[in-house]
Chain A
């Protein structure tokens, strides 16, 4: 974990209200792992917004990393309005990484909306670990679809404007009913209702499932204890999303 001022090198609108930002940082490029995040101070001189905003590392290259920003509020709006060449105050890499090793052959990446953000990096890690990767991505409609740097992608849209008409967990049910998947493991990121449905799916079919959680955070490093999530089993009632997560096994926590 380090704090640095990193230059925004590239900004591109990749879907409705959704931007790809490429930020120069050999630190994050070198030490960041798939599933980890950076914490960005968007109003670097002021307090509107006050707190840093966490963004998952979407991919890395030799000396830079990517994030995907969907404009949903003031923080993301201001971040999306930054110009190339501006310096961003970032702390990272933070949190734990997806566990890409282990006894599975096919990685099923399941994303809801901008929840696909960590998958490009994850896909690369999985492929280099010799795994097959199938990607299932659900969006509200066609205008929000992001597929860049993803492998074997299966799309679902709520309104049926592209791909499967329905949600991504329904799509997954169909896919698993119709195909025999050898030794699957699920990696997922998306809105809470999707993660709940997915956890049920994984439990019923006895598939190991990791969920990447989003939470309001104040510090991002475990100091404030703000981003608590209820834990199942031993080790205290709550886990911290920023420090013990953001990636949990679906049977570890109560969603």
Chain B
């Protein structure tokens, strides 16, 4: 019989079945590809950002591929929280996995209002708060790049829910760990990082930017080393769990994030390329643990050996 590996973990007393999630904005509302996707295998689904009012999003072009990554400027296009509750949540409630609602807003009142609308509904187990979208004028980075405002949003939302509260942080600041510390002090149960890195691409024939908003958010394997360094920085600064996000494209990538200090991982851009990648990583993590006689995936979390040895050269070749 195969050795069983403990995969679950808890945040604020809520148990997630494993440590692999699909990131906000890369899995729609969760219902789009359910016919071909075994959602029950996932630790959880983080919904597309929900705002109080429906949002059309930014004009095209909204995406452009860059070296090992992509820039996007979707602009939080979404159907709004009320339509989500009416049309999407009933479907999501039938999924045998945890649903985390991602919330975006342009004021503290609006964050609170969206959360309160969701609080009165069954089927949401936790909230991820997007204070870090680089592609909208109001909200987004207005909050996420301001440590005091990020703390204030966390403070107000904490008063309004006893469910796990996860704050999604931007890498587009000087010291991300200061933001992590601030939200932890205000009662956040976890942080997720990183959101996209601000980036830009230009068409040299037309001399125009390749995105309608000029700059956008860079994601994909190109940002993985950045994300890993940010997770490592934050893990040293706080004791609440971290969801590691940024260019994860394989089980090995996911393990790197766990070793750097993430308690769980979110698969983002690579969902677009390999729709079943997250499920493969769920299986891959268990297999890795069995092969290495690890009885609990949690034992990988923060298990980085910072004493650099000569093994680097071997893995490079």
Q: Does A174 contact B (CB under 8 A)?
A: no
Contact A223 B68, CB 8 Å, known A47-B221, A228-B77, A236-B56? no
Q: Decide: B33 and A47 in contact? CB cutoff 8 A.
A: no
A41-69 at interface with B (beta carbon < 8 Å): 41, 47-52
Surface stretch bound by B, among A131-139, A160-168, A204-212, A213-221: A213-221
Q: Does A225 contact B (CB under 8 A)?
A: yes
CA distance A223 to B271 in the complex (A): 9
Residues of A within 8 A of B249 (CB): 47
Q: Decide: B65 and A216 in contact? CB cutoff 8 A.
A: yes
CB-based A-B contact count at 8 angstroms: 94
Contact A50 B220, CB 8 Å, known A41-B273, A226-B72, A238-B57? yes
Q: Which single member of B33, B54, B59 contacts A221 (CB below 8 Å)?
A: B33
Contact A224 B74, CB 8 Å, known A2-B36, A49-B65, A217-B63? yes
Q: Does A86 contact B (CB under 8 A)?
A: no
Contact A47 B68, CB 8 Å, known A3-B276, A223-B26? yes
Q: Which single member of B28, B59, B220 contacts A222 (CB below 8 Å)?
A: B28
Q: Which single member of A220, A223, A228 contacts B28 (CB below 8 Å)?
A: A223
Q: Does B149 contact A (CB under 8 A)?
A: no
Residues of A within 8 A of B222 (CB): 47
Q: Does B284 contact A (CB under 8 A)?
A: no
Q: Decide: A227 and B63 in contact? CB cutoff 8 A.
A: yes
Q: Does A91 contact B (CB under 8 A)?
A: yes
Q: Does A153 contact B (CB under 8 A)?
A: no
Shortest distance between the CB of B236 and any CB in chain A (Å): 29
Residues of A within 8 A of B272 (CB): 51-52, 218-220, 223-224
Q: Which single member of A91, A217, A228, A236 contacts B275 (CB below 8 Å)?
A: A91
| B contact set with A: CB distance below 8 Å | 25-28, 32-33, 35-36, 54, 56-57, 59-65, 67-70, 72, 74, 77, 220-222, 249, 269, 271-276
Q: Can you list 17 contacts pairing A with B, beta carbon distance less than 8 Å?
A: A3-B275, A47-B221, A47-B249, A50-B273, A51-B273, A219-B271, A221-B33, A223-B27, A223-B32, A223-B272, A224-B25, A225-B77, A227-B63, A230-B59, A237-B56, A237-B57, A238-B57
| A contact set with B: CB distance below 8 Å | 1-3, 41, 47-52, 91, 215-230, 236-238
Q: State the 8 A-B residue pairs at the shortest beta-carbon distance, nearest first.
A: A226-B63, A237-B56, A219-B272, A47-B68, A218-B272, A223-B28, A228-B60, A226-B62
